[in-house]
A and B are shown apart, each in its own frame.
Chain A
């Protein structure tokens, strides 16, 4: 039953172009990160005219490439995933297709899990593609990939992505309509981003980049990109990536438990 549901969800992602949109966005931003980082000074000079020469940026280094990558993945990649999947359960409730599926003995947990796993599969494919392009372009443009903490940071960010998908799925069954589901999901996304931003703002002016920022980001469900970057810069020990990943996993499990519990009690 799980296999049938998962196969259907996967096909739906491919046939409704959801998969291709996500792949395209991640692919483009996987390429853009290293290019932007490498040529930022040239870009500023060419588009800024006289002002371009006034802005002096230090020569780009490999961590700039990863800064762009995590920023793009967080601001565009994850947002696109949220937009693509925010109505996944509410849409089925509105159309009535959920009634046909659940009346065939599919448990509500299986129904939701197939949707989450399918979204995770799409996200993983897109993330791997973006990562492949990011690594290839970084190697070509900077002559190196990054430090040894990179894999842990990338894993932490992947776990964060799953947490955001779990959040997206939680909001969808909670809402009565697709419009409400969309507003609630985007609200949840912005809230997580806001908490992450607040963690960073908390230390502005202190110059304490190894103090409060990592501590707050480490335990914030939206702080994975900051943690990954600090690992990349060598400010944080790679072991911190495991903590951040653990926070995202716990966050996902809590959201998942709440979602299933609510959906099981919902009358359709």
Chain B
């Protein structure tokens, strides 16, 4: 059974279609990255999944249960973390988690054990008695993760879990999410591609509310990953060299970056390895830098969104 099934999901706000006929399936146990530029409809989709806003059309099934606006699912189905989690600042982290556990009717001993487990998981044990009002953004985000897991949910929804954090905070949060994969399916939205590359098995790319692409990371790389080579030559004027290469049949594309580096997209990497040094010599210059480049998700993302 898939962890999450979305069929024809549509939501419009006045004249703006935020989510347009979205259909996707998230396999159980996966870490699923929901990618898209700002305004693509990611937050709206997650709110629809959490039953907080009403869809205009379509259906959502999470762990076998149909999501209905304003209605709750079984207690062990869903954990939700919004993009900016709001807490009761007068509470401590322990008090907040205790409140959340009580909402699920968790009995005393189990509740306290679970709170300790989660405080350890998100690294908040040293601050467990501190009032949330004094928490940093990273601490709030980690507490947000903990509260979403209090009920041991089958599916965890996260909206931009690390977008407002510094690189260290982001790395910590992503590491926590990666560890969760053993116990739950994680569906999280982001526009930070590094995060997705680091921890996701599968990816969906959303643009202007529509699903542009969905597949495993490996399949996406195979399909969209066109390798390239970064080349730097001695001469500042690279134009003669670029013109020489662009006439060759193994060259698909050549771009010159702002710092004078050439980005060569070859049709055949082996041929490129043979011909580039020869071409450098023929042009009467010297090869200063030669580096095969592995395409990043950012390259793929830009290509998909543009196309």
Contact = CB atoms under 8 A, between A and B. Distances in A.
Contacts of A95: 86-87
A100 interface: yes
Interface residues of B, number: 29
A100 B85 contact: yes
B80 A99 contact: yes
Contacts, number: 70
B145 to A, nearest CB: 12
A16 B242 CA distance: 69
A164 to B, nearest CB: 25
Chain B: interface secondary structure?
loop
Interface in A105-158: 105-108
A102 B86 CA distance: 12
A103 B80 contact: yes
Interface stretch (A7-15, A45-53, A56-64): A7-15
Interface string B241-285: 000000000000000000000000000000000000000000000
Contacts of B6: none
A114 to B, nearest CB: 11
Given A105-B72, A105-B73, A96 B103 contact: no
Contact of B52 (A3, A12, A107, A268): A268
B103 A4 contact: yes
A5 interface: yes
A264 interface: yes
Interface in A1-44: 1, 3-5, 7-8, 12, 15-16
Interface residues of A, number: 28
Contacts of B100: 100, 104
Contacts of A104: 72, 100, 103-104, 151
16 contacts: A1-B103, A7-B102, A12-B88, A12-B90, A95-B87, A96-B82, A96-B84, A97-B87, A99-B50, A99-B80, A100-B80, A100-B82, A100-B86, A105-B104, A265-B70, A268-B53
